[in-house]
Amino acid sequence: GPFAFDTIVPWTTATAYHATPPASAVSFDDLAYICAVTHVAGTFETDLAAGKWIRIGQIAGQGPPGEQGATGPAAWTGVAAWATGTIYTPGPPASVVTQGGSTFVCIGWHLAGTFAADLAAGYWRLVAAKGDTGATGPTGPASWLPIASWSSAGVSYTPGPPASVVSYAGLAWVCIQPHVSGPTTNPGSYDTGWRQVGAKGDTGPTGPPPWQPPEPWITGTHYAAAAPSSCVTYEGETYVCLTAHTAGDFVADLAAGRWIKIASASSGGGGGFKNRLANGDFRFDRRAGGGVTQIAAGGDRTP
């Protein structure tokens, strides 16, 4: 049959108590009572005097705390990157992984296949989502100062940042210890102050000549202005090409600014002019606008 009375709870006023099994049971002033008459509580002393409650015992005080239990297993394992083909367990301790910047705890035994499929199957629960990208940090200081020639005249050099950088003996050096320069602190011999960071480059290949050897002008020929420029003779005089073109009429091409005379017949055209070029009697500068200035051996300029 049913219990004779319900669980003992503290008595409270205005509460409906019943005498039918299981009857209401209350505690009041460390004593236990069972309801004898169904009623709505007023004051406990009045209801007790009216026979609505029957004392059934005394409530014992709280006992002393028990001994501490043994330490249980860890709730989670250490966090590791998710890897396919791994056996994961809900534990304890449960497997914890990172994937795509977020952290997940395993809630179902499984052998990892693909993370997306395992997540959809309910094997993982998100515990920490990937955070947003942080703001760009401030620009840091320069690593090195602009390179300068090394000086022995009491210059203060610093490892920085920014560090002093110098050129010396065709090499580049960065300062690794603060010091004031002197006759014995030059890079290459003062190893505690300098470290080589760049070597002198190899000599580059010889550039092209400014123009080609002079040849007689021929109509219908394509002449080039880029080095080496086309160089022609016409009626005993020598010209260098200023504008790339296909020759039509020489007089018209000359008037159009496609040629500039660099030697007249009196200068010794043809083979004589070639010899003078070989001997260094003439040199020429190209102007920014595309023109050419003749510079004779004596330094005179002829436009």
Q: What is the pLDDT of residues 77-132, one digit of tens each?
A: 899 999 999 999 998 999 999 999 999 999 999 999 999 999 999 999 999 999 88
Return the structure tokens found at 128: 């920490």
Q: CA triplet 216, 246, 265: central angle to 5 degrees?
A: 30
pLDDT the model gives residue 291? 40
CA distances from 113 to 82, 86, 98 (A): 10, 8, 15
**Helix (H) or strand (E) run with residue 98 in it:** strand 94-99
**Looking at domain 148-199, which of 3.30.70, 1.10.10, 1.25.40, 2.10.10 is its CATH number?**
2.10.10
> Rounded to two decimals, what is the model's pTM?
0.34
How deeply is 118 buried, as exposed, middle or buried, from its count of CB atoms within 10 A (0-12, 13-18, 19+)? buried
pLDDT the model gives residue 74? 87
Q: How far apart are CA 222 and CA 230, in angstroms?
A: 9
pLDDT the model gives residue 132? 87
pLDDT the model gives residue 71? 87
pLDDT the model gives residue 266? 59
List, in order, residues 6 or more apart from 283 with CB less than 8 Å away: 295
Fold for the domain defined by 215-263: Seminal Fluid Protein  PDC-109 (Domain B) (2.10.10)
pLDDT the model gives residue 282? 47
Q: How many residues does the chain have?
A: 303
pLDDT the model gives residue 278? 39
Q: How far apart are CA 263 and CA 285, in angstroms?
A: 15
Positions of the chain with pLDDT lower than 50, given as ranges: 1, 267-303
pLDDT the model gives residue 147? 93
**Helix (H) or strand (E) run with residue 24 in it:** strand 23-28
pLDDT the model gives residue 72? 84
pLDDT the model gives residue 2? 52
